[in-house]
Chain A
């Protein structure tokens, strides 16, 4: 079933749906009294959600016995990057209006901006090397090494959110727990299979 082309198209459309929803609300002038803040939070939320979804693919493949889920991982990861680009663009363009000096000041002085920017920077090489061509060129082993950066990007995203909120940390903590479960599942699996001959091939 997961190999069906239409399933992939459906997943593609599903990942695009939040942007459609945002556009629809914008069209209806329904972006709250502070539209720029609304767009910033909305795109940030979806970056984090899709990052968690990307990290969930490998554990779910094993847990559900659905190895074909791997067919969606690249797409979900690229969508996380896509929403991350929208999030950063909102900040650079709508919020700061290309005030580079002010932004540099932010990256240096405000830890939550620094964390968010670091998370985004780590996603760039992953998006750039997401094609089959790059896997071939780099070799599977090195490619997998590089793509473990997604773990750090997930952590950076959570830290970014945690440092940003004013008082209630409930939501960032929920994302933190989700990321922890995804990374924990890998550590646990790796621990269980540690004596195996080719650990690199087993860890994703």
Chain B
């Protein structure tokens, strides 16, 4: 009984993409409009911060199983409903308590630092996980450009929201917002991500630019960012606002602190039949545990 393990590998990516391009292209072709159907390739360099020894999930798994409530609440909805999401032109405003607040176009963000390929484990709060070769660079490189002032202690993030492009949005207050403490945001593992599997991000995975914080539950890794604000106070975060008892600000992956409605001890890696043990800080404890020295992680869940 290894349903998920093989089927995803049966369809090679180019076939799958062609099929998708064909289906997606039909209505577009009828309208006579032009649209790039596949993602564009990105040049990357090797990264010392990549995770080794993990088998990658497939592009199909990562791009058809998404939590992106702006495009619908079922996992298979974003890959369908985000198909025509406009990610160009795209501007990210970096503002707040910094010496040089400014706006960055997505082209500027892509060119701001050498793009690295980083394989990370990604653990959802719903107890499933994937391993993804993301592309990007440390968020700190962007934040350094705007020179945070001494008043900045937190970083707030905001996702694009447009009801006309996201008519199926439900379940949360939009726009989606997230936040990190400044020292978390400056940690080299916190990735400003523009691609995966060698290409720019598909819309359902957070195109054109998202965050990936591998030691925290997936919902902290906010998608399709339009605003980054440095500030003194702890930012409001969407899931915490929806249900504070179940989703804390920190939301570090922690097998010892259960979600009130399910266990966090184990997780199902997509494509595997048996569940595996969840690792403290999703296995990144050596790098990040020091950020939380002296903190009660049960109280600060």
When the two chains form their complex, are residues B261 and A35 in contact, meaning their CB atoms are under 8 A apart?
Answer: no
When the two chains form their complex, are residues B4 and A34 in contact, meaning their CB atoms are under 8 A apart?
Answer: yes
Residue positions of A touching B, CB distance < 8 A:
26, 29-37, 94, 97, 102, 105-106, 110-112, 163-164, 166-168, 170
Contact A167/B171 with A26-B3, A29-B6 known, Cβ cut-off 8 Å: yes
Known: A26-B3, A167-B69, A168-B170. 16 other contacts (CB 8 A): A29-B7, A30-B7, A31-B4, A31-B7, A33-B64, A33-B75, A34-B75, A34-B128, A37-B128, A94-B273, A97-B274, A102-B263, A106-B263, A111-B261, A166-B171, A170-B170
Q: Does B76 contact A (CB under 8 A)?
A: yes
A112–B268 Cα gap in the complex (Å)?
Answer: 20
9 residue pairs A–B, Cβ–Cβ below 8 Å: A29-B6, A33-B60, A33-B270, A94-B1, A94-B273, A102-B263, A167-B242, A168-B73, A168-B170
Residue positions of B touching A, CB distance < 8 A:
1, 3-4, 6-8, 10, 60-61, 64-65, 69, 73, 75-76, 126, 128, 170-172, 239, 242-243, 261-263, 268, 270-271, 273-275
A166–B262 Cα gap in the complex (Å)?
Answer: 11
When the two chains form their complex, are residues A33 and B65 in contact, meaning their CB atoms are under 8 A apart?
Answer: yes
When the two chains form their complex, are residues B75 and A32 in contact, meaning their CB atoms are under 8 A apart?
Answer: yes
Contact A33/B4 with A167-B242, A168-B73 known, Cβ cut-off 8 Å: yes
When the two chains form their complex, are residues B65 and A34 in contact, meaning their CB atoms are under 8 A apart?
Answer: yes
**From B6, B60, B273, residue with most partner A Cβ within 10 Å:** B273
A168–B172 Cα gap in the complex (Å)?
Answer: 8
Contact A29/B75 with A34-B270, A163-B261 known, Cβ cut-off 8 Å: no
When the two chains form their complex, are residues B268 and A36 in contact, meaning their CB atoms are under 8 A apart?
Answer: yes
A164–B261 Cα gap in the complex (Å)?
Answer: 8
Query: Which A residues touch B242, using CB under 8 A?
Result: 167
When the two chains form their complex, are residues A110 and B262 in contact, meaning their CB atoms are under 8 A apart?
Answer: yes
A34–B60 Cα gap in the complex (Å)?
Answer: 12
Contact A31/B3 with A97-B274, A166-B171, A168-B73 known, Cβ cut-off 8 Å: yes
